[in-house]
């Protein structure tokens, strides 16, 4: 059970010193309880007290690391059930299923999903290598998955095959998704031997809990929980109940990240798999596996994930700059809008749909929408003019026609004063009108 500030205070040495940056031990204890400072910051703590308090003040969901180097990811660490309460910590990771027969095709497909959205790279992070009964073909698939440069999930319950696969993949720090109530000791020993995360599953919540507790008793707490594939209803219920038990009931045996395999829940049904992946991105899949991921699946999934795992107190912004749309060159007309991500994607999407070449100028508007940025003074004639001058737009682009958002038409006169030689054109109030507007524009 997590300790309160008073509990922590009882275990702190009463020195009233300032070594830890706090005037009293009680103030220090309260800060530790709130999570704003680590217990190890007190130089007078005994080793036993540090161990006791360190475990008690950890988040109810354990932090787990998988992979290595550039492909190392953190899972878990969650402290709330709902994003609006605080924020979610570790984003869901997406993976595809690989078998011996489909390895080359799947790897080629997953490499196509690699693009950037609002400063974040979107790609398939994981490959789940599923054992189908033949050791040799399984190991060949593992070799191909290693060469793809993604974190591996070794889904195999045969101990000999699991050990051989771990010998091949040990340097990549894969996940060994292999343990259940019948084999947990052998698989835990393998996971500990190779220092990898162990996946644990069970037919019921009770059996799953007992298996996790038994593995913990062996000294292994480097785990993830596979919610299973009995049914969609069962998998969803387990995911929610496991998270609630960990966060609300402080049951640390359920305080591990969850893995959901939608490929098993909806085999050969990519549409349903995408819908389920969206569901478990919100509730509460740390790792979500699909059979395959194409652009039609990736765009909504990664967009949803980015929205869910972005701090709600921080607006999503695109990088200020000059965005050449539809092959725009120095002779294409200029347009401007704010750096709020949603506004940018709506406006740029309509402009691209028009087929008209446009140089879209994005200045720093604080991540606000058009009217909010204007009201806050972040979008003004002086800020747009300053962006154009600082970025040498006049030297890069010969076309000095500038389209401004219709909702800030009031800036037209002041912009013409700040930008002599430029023609200011007011766009429609709504982005949906941009296609017709640009096609009919004569400049």
DSSP per-residue codes, 255-292: -S-EEEEHHHHSTT-HHHHHHHHHHHHHTT-SEEEES-
Q: 137 is written with which tokens?
A: 């073909």
Fold agreement between 5-45 and 321-440: no
On the question of pLDDT at 432 being above 80, the answer is yes
Segments making up each domain of the chain, as ranges? 5-45, 64-308, 321-440
CB-based contacts of 437, cutoff 8 Å, min separation 6: 427, 428
Q: 191 is written with which tokens?
A: 């996971």
Residue 51 pLDDT class (50, 70, 90 cuts): low
345 exposure class (CB count in 10 Å sphere: 0-12, 13-18, 19+) = middle
Helices (DSSP H) in 283-410: which residue ranges? 295-308, 341-354, 370-375, 381-390, 393-396
The pLDDT score that the predictor gives to residue 239 is 96
Neighbours of 208 (CB within 10 A): 23
CB-based contacts of 418, cutoff 8 Å, min separation 6: 381, 382, 384, 385
More confident residue, 120 or 435: 435
Helix (H, G, I), strand (E, B) or coil at 323: strand
Name the E strands within 91-231. Answer: 93-98, 114-117, 120-123, 126-130, 151-155, 175-179, 197-200, 223-226
Q: Could you give the CA distance from residue 312 to residue 302 in angstroms, rounded to a whole number?
A: 17
On the question of pLDDT at 159 being above 60, the answer is yes
Q: Could you give the CA distance from residue 296 to residue 241 in angstroms, rounded to a whole number?
A: 31
pLDDT digits (tens, 9 = 90+) for 308-332: 888 766 678 889 999 999 999 999 9
Class of the domain covering 64-308: alpha beta
Q: Dihedral sign for Cα 202, 203, 206, 207, please.
A: negative
Residue pair 281/92 in contact (Cβ under 8 Å)? The answer is yes
> According to the CATH classification, is domain 5-45 in 2.30.330.10?
no
pLDDT digits (tens, 9 = 90+) for 2-46: 444 445 445 455 444 544 444 456 566 666 655 556 666 676 666
The pLDDT score that the predictor gives to residue 29 is 63
The pLDDT score that the predictor gives to residue 52 is 61
Residue pair 178/154 in contact (Cβ under 8 Å)? The answer is yes
On the question of pLDDT at 49 being above 80, the answer is no
Phi and psi (nearest 5°) for 261? -105, 95
Across the range 384-392, mean pLDDT stands at 94
The pLDDT score that the predictor gives to residue 83 is 83
pLDDT digits (tens, 9 = 90+) for 238-274: 999 999 999 999 899 999 999 999 999 999 999 999 9
pTM of the model: 0.76
Residue pair 184/175 in contact (Cβ under 8 Å)? The answer is no
Helices (DSSP H) in 57-204: which residue ranges? 103-110, 135-147, 159-169, 184-193
Residue 100 pLDDT class (50, 70, 90 cuts): confident
CATH fold for domain 321-440: Rossmann fold (3.40.50)
């Amino acid at each position: 059970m997590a300790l309160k500030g008073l509990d922590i205070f009882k275990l702190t040495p009463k020195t009233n010193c300032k070594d830890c940056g706090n005037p009293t031990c009680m103030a220090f204890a309260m800060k530790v309880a709130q999570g704003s400072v680590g217990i190890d910051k007190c130089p007078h703590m005994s080793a036993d007290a540090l161990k006791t308090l360190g475990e008690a003040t950890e988040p109810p969901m354990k932090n787990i690391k998988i992979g290595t180097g550039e492909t190392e990811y953190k899972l878990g660490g969650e402290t709330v059930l709902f994003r609006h309460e605080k924020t979610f910590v570790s984003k869901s990771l997406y993976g595809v299923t690989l078998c011996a027969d489909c390895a080359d095709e799947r790897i080629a497909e997953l490499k196509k999903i690699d693009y950037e959205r609002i400063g974040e790279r979107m790609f398939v992070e994981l490959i789940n290598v599923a054992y189908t009964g033949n050791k040799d073909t399984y190991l060949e698939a593992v070799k191909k998955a290693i060469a793809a440069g993604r974190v591996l999930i070794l889904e195999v319950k045969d101990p000999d095959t699991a050990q051989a696969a771990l010998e091949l993949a040990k340097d990549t720090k894969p996940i060994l998704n292999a343990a259940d109530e019948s084999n947990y000791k052998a698989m835990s020993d393998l996971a500990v031997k190779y220092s990898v995360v162990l996946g644990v599953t069970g037919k019921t919540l009770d059996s799953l809990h007992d298996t996790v507790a038994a593995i913990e008793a062996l000294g292994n707490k480097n785990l993830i929980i596979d919610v299973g594939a009995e049914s969609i209803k069962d998998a969803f219920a387990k995911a929610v109940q496991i998270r609630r038990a960990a966060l609300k009931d402080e049951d640390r045996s359920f305080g591990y990240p969850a893995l959901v395999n939608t490929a098993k829940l909806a085999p050969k049904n990519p549409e349903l798999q995408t819908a389920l992946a969206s569901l478990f991105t919100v509730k509460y899949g740390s790792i979500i596996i699909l059979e395959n991921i194409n652009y039609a699946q990736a765009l909504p999934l990664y967009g949803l994930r980015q929205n869910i795992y972005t701090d709600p107190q921080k607006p999503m912004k695109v990088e200020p700059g000059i965005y050449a749309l539809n092959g725009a060159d120095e002779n294409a007309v200029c347009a401007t809008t704010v750096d709020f991500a949603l506004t940018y994607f709506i406006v740029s999407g309509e402009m691209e749909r028009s087929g008209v070449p446009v140089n879209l100028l994005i200045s720093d508007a604080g991540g606000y929408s058009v009217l909010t940025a204007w009201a806050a003074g972040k979008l003004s004639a002086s800020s747009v003019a300053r962006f154009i001058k600082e970025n040498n737009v006049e030297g890069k682009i010969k076309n000095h026609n500038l389209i401004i958002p219709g909702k800030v038409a009031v800036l037209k006169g002041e912009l013409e004063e700040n930008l002599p030689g430029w023609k200011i054109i007011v766009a429609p109030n709504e982005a949906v009108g941009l296609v017709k507007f640009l096609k009919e524009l004569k400049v």
